[in-house]
């Protein structure tokens, strides 16, 4: 029996991961020197960042694709992709990293929030 993870749960997980990523990226330059004291130097590892980004992509696309079948709105996908573009540009443009990456994380979280609202509206309209 194949079980499906509800889109709402994926969206909430995606929002949480995106906000955590934004906080991580905004705060990392400030607290990077303290991480080894707490055994958390892995947070500044590029592989950790790649893993977090990959997880965000997987969760984001899964949640939005599942919900697209319900509400047929492309805007959440466009906001999600814009968020990932901001993150990619932040990694490529070192001087703007502290600004672009957190904004990208917030955009990704916003795409999930919009997706939840569209799902709710669509289900509410469907039941009326």
pLDDT digits (tens, 9 = 90+) for 22-43: 776 676 666 666 666 666 666 6
- DSSP string of 52-103? HHHHHHHHHHHHHHHHHHHH---HHHHHHHHHHHHHHHHHHSGGGHHHHHHH
pLDDT for 18 beyond 80:
no
Q: What is the pLDDT of residues 81-109, one digit of tens each?
A: 999 999 889 888 888 888 898 899 889 88
At residue 128, the pLDDT reads 58
Res 123 pLDDT > 80: no
Domain boundaries, the chain: 7-123
């Amino acid at each position: 029996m194949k079980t499906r993870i509800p889109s709402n749960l994926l969206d909430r997980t995606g929002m949480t991961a995106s906000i955590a990523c934004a906080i991580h990226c905004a705060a990392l330059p400030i607290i990077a020197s303290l991480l080894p004291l707490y055994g958390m130097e892995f947070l500044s590892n590029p592989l950790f960042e790649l893993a977090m980004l990959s997880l965000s992509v997987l969760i984001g696309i899964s949640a939005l694709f599942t919900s697209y079948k319900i509400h047929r709105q492309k805007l959440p996908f466009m906001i999600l992709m814009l968020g990932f573009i901001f993150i990619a540009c932040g990694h490529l443009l070192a001087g703007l990293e502290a600004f672009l990456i957190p904004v990208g994380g917030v955009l990704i979280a916003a795409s999930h929030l919009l997706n939840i609202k569209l799902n709710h509206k669509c289900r509410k309209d469907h039941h009326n």
